[in-house]
Amino acid sequence: MLDTVHENPRPDRTATPIELIEQLARVAAAYYRHFAAAAAGHGLTLMQGKTLSLLTRPRSMRGLAGLLSCDASNVTGIVDRLEARDLVLREPDPSDRRVKNIALTEHGERTVRLIRADLMSGLTALEALTAEDRGALRSLLDRAFPETTSAAYRALPG
Amino acid sequence: MLDTVHENPRPDRTATPIELIEQLARVAAAYYRHFAAAAAGHGLTLMQGKTLSLLTRPRSMRGLAGLLSCDASNVTGIVDRLEARDLVLREPDPSDRRVKNIALTEHGERTVRLIRADLMSGLTALEALTAEDRGALRSLLDRAFPETTSAAYRALPG
DNA sequence: CGTCGATGGTTTATGACCTCAAGCATTGTT
DNA sequence: AACAATGCTTGAGGTCATAAACCATCGACG
């Protein structure tokens, strides 16, 4: 274990907050570039792909708007287009007739799986990390962006 | 130093590639949410803010298109709007009359600095990391996204 | 020198998305 | 029953994505 060190912290590199923010900008851009390419491979937009991948369980329009960080009126159009391609379904909520629950169709579930696979195959360097490195990266990102833990996302209403 | 450990790698957390990718999705979304908010605080779009922050030196339209990962025809419109607000300037290239070099005006430089400051003030958790943690995060992100090192960006033509 | 393919930038059209304001239906409360 | 609050949709106006076509300029080549 101890001899599998990849010269880890590499303290010679500058790592000021500014430098780190610029690198995060590049990483975020690279991530979305990969994701958009994977979605485009299935004729979908970045937002449409994001929406599909958020539907691990049915969600209300408002809930989706929150997760997508956009106005609810946008979600109407996005879901309209996804529904027109039979990727998604609007179901009336049994306990509140105002809300519509959006759920993946079978075709939608297949598409999400394919997009996710394409995305992962494009991020080969990420899979090349050791389990130790992945754990360290997760821990650091959790502390750098405490608002975005997976627990916080799952617990959201809608 | 050694007693300021924040229980670092925390190996109990699951850190499969899939989990890591989902976390990167959330981090990228959070980063752009912060950035878009900072840009909106100055009446600018996400793309306009990104463009400004890429102009650490004059760049050609095509060079900007590459850095923004979009078609050159988009850059025309974005730079049009930035130029209309006196944030940016189109200068003819002395050695090639086809290319136009885009440079920040004084007003543009001030605006970039303000946006960057707003962004950093929104990412307080990131500044709370120790220098050691920041170094480790940089190193890990460099290895997870080798395509996006700062050296690679600075070396680009245009 | 003149031709020609390649390159940099712009324009146009169509569609997707964003913002904001307004609207309707339903809910929960008083 | 009247009320404000909530969930979703619609509309207009602006920004961005995408693809095709266009013009000016460059570079190489005969």
> If pLDDT is split at 50, 70 and 90, which confidence band does B127 have?
confident
Q: pTM of this prediction?
A: 0.89
**Number of Cβ within a 10 Å radius of residue A91:** 11
Indicate the residue of A25, A139, A146 with minimum beta-carbon distance to B125: A146
Give A75-94 pLDDT, tens digit per residue.
Answer: 999 999 999 999 999 999 99
- Does residue B97 approach strand C to less than 7 Å at its CB? no
Q: Which residues of A touch B118 (CB under 8 A)?
A: none
Where are the extended beta strands (E) located within chain A? 59-60, 88-92, 100-104
> If pLDDT is split at 50, 70 and 90, which confidence band does B152 have?
low
The residue ranges of chain A whose pLDDT is under 50 are: 1-12
B97 neighbors B60 (Cβ within 8 angstroms):
no
**Number of Cβ within a 10 Å radius of residue B28:** 21
Contact B17 A137 (CB under 8 A): no
Q: What is the Cα gyration radius of chain B?
A: 19
Give B4-46 pLDDT, tens digit per residue.
Answer: 444 444 444 678 889 999 999 999 999 999 999 999 999 999 9
Which of A7, A120, A134, A149 is best to mutate for the B interface (most B CBs within 10 A)? A134
CA distances (Å), origin A48, targets A31, B15, B111, B130, B139 = 16, 27, 32, 38, 32
**Distance of A143 CA from C27 C1′ (whole Å):** 39
A145 neighbors A46 (Cβ within 8 angstroms):
no
A68 neighbors A49 (Cβ within 8 angstroms):
no
Q: Is A140 helix (H, G, I), strand (E, B) or coil?
A: helix
- Residue A11, min C-alpha distance to chain B (Å): 6
